[in-house]
Structure 1
Amino acid sequence: MAAGVKKIVSTILSEAESRAEEIIKDAEKKKDKIIKEGKEKAKKVKEETLRRLKKEGKMKYRQIISNAKIKARRSELKTREKLIEKSFKIAENKLKEMASKHSEKYKQALINLIERSITEIGGGELQLHLNSRDTEFIKDQIEDISNKVSEKIGKNVKLELGEEINTIGGVIVRTKDGSIEVNNTLEARLSRLKKVLRPEVADILFK
């Protein structure tokens, strides 16, 4: 009986040892597999992270360059606009100087502006609104201007001096009832011409 018990114990121990060895070997295999998978996963994460950071870096670089270009373009346009406005301001000052000196060139230009305004309205009873200096000059020219334009357009033209206005030069012509007005002051003409001349001025300045 003792021998049988010994055999049983021996067999159990032998199986236990064998089973333990199998478990250990299996654990070793799993350990190696887990370590290998862990390394591969870590490598993959590292590569993906590097790719992502590289991509983000490129995007950020492009964004910085794009923003810099936009900023530079805005600055350039702002500088151009200042130069264009400066050109118009110089032109305005020259007109002021010409008008204040009441040169023959300005006087003729003023008469032309009045005649053009009357023609645009189509004649009739009209009022001329000028600054005080031009009013003094034009009051002696009214009859000649009326006759000249009347003959030109084939309609009766009757002119009278209206209320004086604050302007560097030029004229506002209104119908007597105030329903129609043509503003040909130098300021108004310069303002209108800005839109037309701006591209030409820009072309001259930045060609």
Structure 2
Amino acid sequence: MSEGEAVATTIVVLARERAEEILEDARRRAEEILEDARRQAREIIEMRRKKAEAEAKEEAARKRSAAEVKARKIVMEAEKECLEEFRRRVLEEIRLVVERRHERYDYREVLRALIGEGLRAMRGRASKVYVLCRREDRGIVEEIISGIRDVEVILDEASVPIMGGVILRNEDDTVRYYNTLEGRVERILEEKASELMRELIGR
């Protein structure tokens, strides 16, 4: 696992408490809706038993079904909120890494790992590899690539408005490999959403 992935993965612990609060509130509201629907169903059945018991049961079933749909929607929205909270926490942690204020991760080493991974991905696809990064990272990136000997690596003249990380391209820019930190977060969320939800809320 690269340093970049490790940053995102460790935030699961930080997001779990908030996720549990969100889900607990959603489940409580969903249960209240279901209980209210059950009470209304009982009242409807009792009121109309003598007049039209079959009709009353049908109406009660419709109310229960509507309540279940609403309850499911609340839980789904809560799960979405959990993922958004997770994304926010991860991006905040990444910001601390990039600003070199994180207790556990050295941004220079994160960049070194991201560049190395990108070069492996570009192997056989480019004789020269150009590296794009934030304007603030140009000095660090230039120092890192100066020590690479097995392939010609050049710091691109252009800078890119990213949160952190790098983008690699070939000489004519027909092949690109995106290894930005925010891009990795989005990939993790997209590829492992179900797994993250299980980690966050035990489902």
SS in 2 for 1:127: strand
- Map residues 20-169 of structure 1 onto 2, 5 A cutoff: 53-101=52-100, 105-122=106-123, 123-144=126-147, 146-147=148-149, 150=150, 156-169=151-164
User: How many positions carry a matched residue from both structures?
Assistant: 151
| Cα displacement (A) at 1:157 | 2.6
- Map residues 191-206 of structure 1 onto 2, 5 A cutoff: 191-206=186-201
Bigger helix share: 1
Match of 2:176 among 164, 181, 187: 181
TM-score normalised according to structure 1 size: 0.67
CA shift in 2, pair 1:197/1:106, >3 Å = farther
TM-score normalised according to structure 2 size: 0.68
The answer as to whether partners of 2:132 and 2:155 remain within 8 angstroms in 1 is no
| Cα displacement (A) at 1:81 | 1.0
Aligned to 1:15: none
The answer as to whether partners of 2:131 and 2:153 remain within 8 angstroms in 1 is no
SS in 1 for 2:158: coil
Identity of aligned residues (%): 19
- Structure 1: any 5+ residue segments left out of the alignment? 1-49, 151-155
1:49-84 deviation line (CA, Å, top 9, x unaligned): x88822111111001001101100110110111012
| Cα displacement (A) at 1:140 | 2.1
SS in 1 for 2:160: coil
Between the aligned partners of 2:91 and 2:97, the Cα distance in structure 1 is 10
Higher RCO (CA-CA < 8 Å; seq separation 6+): 2
| Superposition RMSD in Å | 2.1
Between the aligned partners of 1:206 and 1:187, the Cα distance in structure 2 is 24
- Structure 2: any 5+ residue segments left out of the alignment? 1-48
Look up the equivalent residue of 1:206 and give its one-letter code. I
The answer as to whether partners of 1:110 and 1:171 remain within 8 angstroms in 2 is yes
